[in-house]
Amino acid sequence: MSSRKVIELFFDVVSPYSWLAFEVMCRYRKVWNIELRLRPTFLGGVMQGSGNKPPGLVPNKLLYMGKDLNRLSEYFNVPLKPPADVPEAMFKKGSLNAMRFVTAVQEMEKSGDEWVERVSRELWRRIWYEDRDITEPASLSEAAMKAGLSDSEIKRALELCNSQEIREKLKSATEEALDYGAFGFPLVVCHLNGKPELFFGSDRFELLAHCIGEKWLGPLPDKSTAKL
């Protein structure tokens, strides 16, 4: 078997399209010959650093996004339901605290990224399915508890997320995404022949598969494999 290709996924739980890419890539790391690296990053910093404008601030794009996410939720089998006030959830409240918390969880994890995967998924579920807060310590604690972290682990993560170390780590990840050329999320960076290849959005999986010499089996590869 050839060496596994390294794929980085830059994401922020405030982005619903990032959730779709996140679930697909987590499913496909069991199917494709890849090493998936989850990269929690602050989308607000990427948008500001790239000079991009969030689609939610454009009225027609916001209307389209609601309909689009309903279709995508069914297609990708991800429980997406936009919050009642999308601008407030995404832009007024934002995700800085949440992404510092995820970064802290990643710092605590000794090996692998199981905690990061589970905590991120619970935070996405809170904002993009249950229409609940992801900014307050109690909200972060509840998400981490549902993800399986112990009380002591949650307490440590909350302490860490306010540290300068974690602030700098999240800032560094954001700057790294910008250096790659990021202007929004999700961003998949595939390292091919020593060079990074960028794929933006949650609709580039067929192209990604082609570039790495793998097969796209749809959003639910386990079901597709069972049919073959």
- DSSP states of 123-181 as a string? HHHHHHTS----SSHHHHHHHHHHTT--HHHHHHHHHHTTSHHHHHHHHHHHHHHHHHT
State the pLDDT at residue 56. Answer: 67
Decide if pLDDT at 68 tops 80. yes
Residues 150-187: pLDDT tens digits?
999 999 999 999 999 999 999 999 999 999 999 999 99
β-strand partners of 7 = 36, 190
Q: Is the confidence at residue 226, as pLDDT, over 60? A: no
Catalytic residues: 15
pLDDT of residue 59: 83
Please give the share of the chain, as a percent, with pLDDT higher than 90.
Answer: 85
227, pLDDT greater than 50:
no
pLDDT tier for residue 30 given thresholds of 50, 70 and 90: very high
Given a cut of 60, is residue 52 above it in pLDDT? Answer: yes
Lowest mean pLDDT among 53-62, 125-134, 167-176: 53-62
- Write the CB contacts of 83 (distance below 8 Å, at least 6 apart in sequence): 89, 127, 128, 131
Confidence at 2, pLDDT banded by 50, 70, 90: low
**CA–CA distance from 74 to each of 68, 77, 85, 145 (Å)?**
10, 5, 22, 27
CB-CB contact of 211 with 190 (8 Å):
yes
Kindly state the average pLDDT of the residues 79-97.
93
How many C-beta atoms lie closer than 10 Å to residue 122's C-beta? 21
User: Is-contact 210 197, C-beta < 8 A?
Assistant: no
* CA atoms within 13 Å, Cβ hemisphere of 23: 25
Joined together, the tokens standing for residue 114 give 């199981």
| CA nearest to 140, candidates 167, 127, 128, 129 | 127
127/62: higher pLDDT: 127
